[in-house]
């Protein structure tokens, strides 16, 4: 098979919601892969009700950063990508944790004091309940503000269905446990039943990898760090099939 034709059969399924899915697609294409969009969730920003006096805003995702109105408060973000999004939105005093909820709680505990005021945790609907509990256990008063809703997609896009049925998907990228679970539901619904057996599942974190274990993938790889550069490193360039994690 000519090299160009071979590349056409090596596509990557992107389950990340928009608008981040398009960004991931560009990164995947830059590595020489065909990007196939299949967002498992649909995000919708919700009105933000500002709390009373608080000492900082805590954000756990780029979607939360995009949904927030600009405020003159310090921001502590779960990771550098989320912090960059907040800075791009005009927030000036932004600090980044190492990329997961445990690191975020540790950074807050090390840099903020419970007596200095309430923490406003800006999150998606149904997210970060464990983080709120961990911060309260450290003595902080936490107010959760739901700034976006994540609605499950009801079906895979037609292009994704064709690529899966034709066996063109080399790997699928997963960036949250919830989107992973919904993507697996959609795969089961569309069939063929053994489709996942031919796909490498690549998880942003161990929690996501655990969620993915409910389906029989060809292989499950986990990023060494919870950031998109490490996620893409698991994939590798398109001219190196089977690139190790």
pLDDT in tens, 213-232: 999 999 999 999 888 899 99
- Give the distance, in angstroms, between the CA of residue 162 and the centroid of all CA atoms in the same chain: 24
> What are the structural domain ranges in the chain?
3-40+153-235, 44-151
Q: Do the domains spanning 3-40+153-235 and 44-151 agree at the CATH topology level?
A: yes
Nearest to 54 by CA among 127, 123, 141, 138: 141
pLDDT tens per residue across span 26-68: 999 999 999 999 999 999 989 888 777 899 999 998 889 999 9
CB 201, CB 187: distance < 8 Å? no
Q: Is the peptide bond before 131 cis (omega within 30 degrees of 0)?
A: no
pLDDT tens per residue across span 169-207: 999 999 999 999 999 999 998 876 788 999 999 999 999
The structure tokens 């960059």 sit at 84
d(CA 199, CA 235): 12
CB 120, CB 143: distance < 8 Å? yes
Q: Which two tokens stand for residue 243?
A: 């690139």
d(CA 244, CA 1): 24
Asked if pLDDT for residue 239 goes beyond 80, the answer is: no
Asked if pLDDT for residue 4 goes beyond 80, the answer is: no
Q: Which CATH architecture has domain 44-151?
A: 3-Layer(aba) Sandwich (3.40)
Give kind and range of the element (H or E) at residue 210.
helix 206-212
Contacts of 22 (CB under 8 A, 6+ apart): 37
> What pLDDT shows up at residue 240?
55
Given this structure, which CATH class describes domain 3-40+153-235?
Answer: alpha beta
> What pLDDT shows up at residue 158?
95
């Amino acid at each position: 098979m000519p090299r160009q034709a071979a590349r056409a059969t090596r596509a990557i399924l992107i389950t990340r919601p928009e608008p981040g899915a398009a960004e991931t697609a560009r990164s995947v294409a830059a590595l020489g892969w065909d990007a196939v969009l299949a967002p498992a969730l649909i995000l919708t920003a919700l009105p933000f009700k500002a709390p009373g006096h608080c000492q900082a805003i805590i954000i756990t995702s780029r979607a939360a950063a995009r949904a927030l109105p600009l405020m003159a408060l310090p921001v502590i973000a779960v990771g550098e990508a989320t912090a960059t999004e907040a800075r791009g939105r005009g927030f000036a005093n932004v600090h980044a944790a190492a990329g997961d909820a445990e690191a975020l709680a540790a950074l807050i505990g090390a840099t903020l004091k419970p007596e200095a005021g309430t923490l406003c945790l800006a999150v998606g609907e149904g997210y970060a309940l464990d983080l709120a509990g961990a911060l309260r256990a450290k003595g902080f008063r936490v107010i959760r503000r739901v700034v976006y809703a994540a609605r499950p997609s009801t079906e895979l896009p037609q292009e994704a269905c064709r690529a899966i049925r034709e066996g063109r998907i080399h790997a699928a990228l997963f960036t949250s446990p919830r989107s992973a679970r919904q993507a697996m539901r959609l795969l089961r619904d569309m069939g063929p039943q053994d489709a996942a057996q031919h796909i490498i599942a690549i998880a942003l974190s161990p929690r996501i990898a655990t969620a993915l274990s409910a389906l029989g993938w060809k292989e499950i790889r986990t990023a060494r760090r919870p950031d998109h550069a490490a996620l893409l490193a698991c994939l590798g360039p398109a001219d190196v099939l089977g690139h190790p994690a």
